[in-house]
């Protein structure tokens, strides 16, 4: 497939690229659908999770009815995206959730107001299909919690947003 990207300005540059389409890949340039944050979404985390699901090919109906664990869920953008896809969501965050999540039509959201470090996996529902983490902590602080939870829950899917806000981490790649 030939991709052409250009701006509306008369003197703007354009970019051309070629890619082979295969099952599970989106036809848009870069392999991802172009999304716009919907007005009902409480945060940009809605876009993050939708792009991640599309990139992995998980934006299919097979997640409907499945359980997601959303770590760092407040104010609820990612949780809302998952609820809109028909998932059940257990959100973990000490912060407040947006009303769009708390009053979602599905009623499939449960909020645990606890820090992730105090979360006991034995008290979580069985059968977590997706662990989503968008906690504003440095990787050395958050990754041990993810490992501990994943060892107990064995979720087949993980989406992690790591905050590389220390200059030496950004330059290491």
Domain membership of residue 19 (yes or no) is no
What gap in Å lies between CA 91 and CA 54, rounded to an integer? 21
Is 106 contained in some domain?
Answer: yes
Task: Specify if 32 maps to a domain.
Answer: no
Instruction: Answer whether residue 163 is part of any domain.
Output: yes
Active-site residue, 163 included: yes
The total of structural domains in the chain comes to 1
Query: Per-residue confidence at 21, pLDDT binned at 50, 70, 90?
Result: low
Q: Which of 37, 158, 163, 164 is catalytic?
A: 163
Question: pLDDT confidence of 75, banded at 50, 70, 90?
Answer: very high
**Is residue 153 one of the residues assigned to a domain?**
yes
pLDDT at position 83: 98
Evaluate if residue 2 carries a pLDDT over 80. Answer: no
Any domain includes 4: no
DSSP string, 45-84: HHHHHHHHHHHHT--SGGGTT-EEEEET-TT-HHHHHHHH
CATH of the domain at 166: 3.40.50.150
Looking at the whole model, is its pTM more than 0.75?
yes
């Amino acid at each position: 497939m030939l991709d052409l990207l250009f701006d509306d300005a008369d003197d703007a540059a354009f970019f051309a690229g070629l890619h082979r389409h295969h099952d599970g890949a989106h036809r848009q340039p870069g392999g991802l659908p172009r999304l716009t944050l919907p007005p009902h979404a409480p945060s940009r985390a809605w876009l993050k999770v939708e792009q991640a699901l599309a990139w992995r090919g998980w934006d299919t109906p097979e997640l409907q009815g499945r359980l997601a664990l959303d770590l760092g869920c407040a104010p609820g953008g990612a949780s809302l995206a998952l609820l809109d896809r028909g998932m059940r969501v257990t959100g973990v965050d000490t912060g407040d959730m947006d009303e769009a999540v708390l009053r979602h039509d599905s009623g499939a959201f449960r909020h645990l107001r606890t820090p992730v470090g105090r979360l006991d996996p034995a008290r979580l529902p069985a059968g977590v299909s997706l662990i989503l983490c968008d906690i504003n902590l440095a990787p050395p602080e958050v990754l041990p919690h993810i490992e501990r939870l994943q060892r107990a829950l064995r979720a087949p899917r993980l989406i992690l947003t790591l905050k590389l806000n220390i200059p030496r981490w950004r330059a290491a790649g």
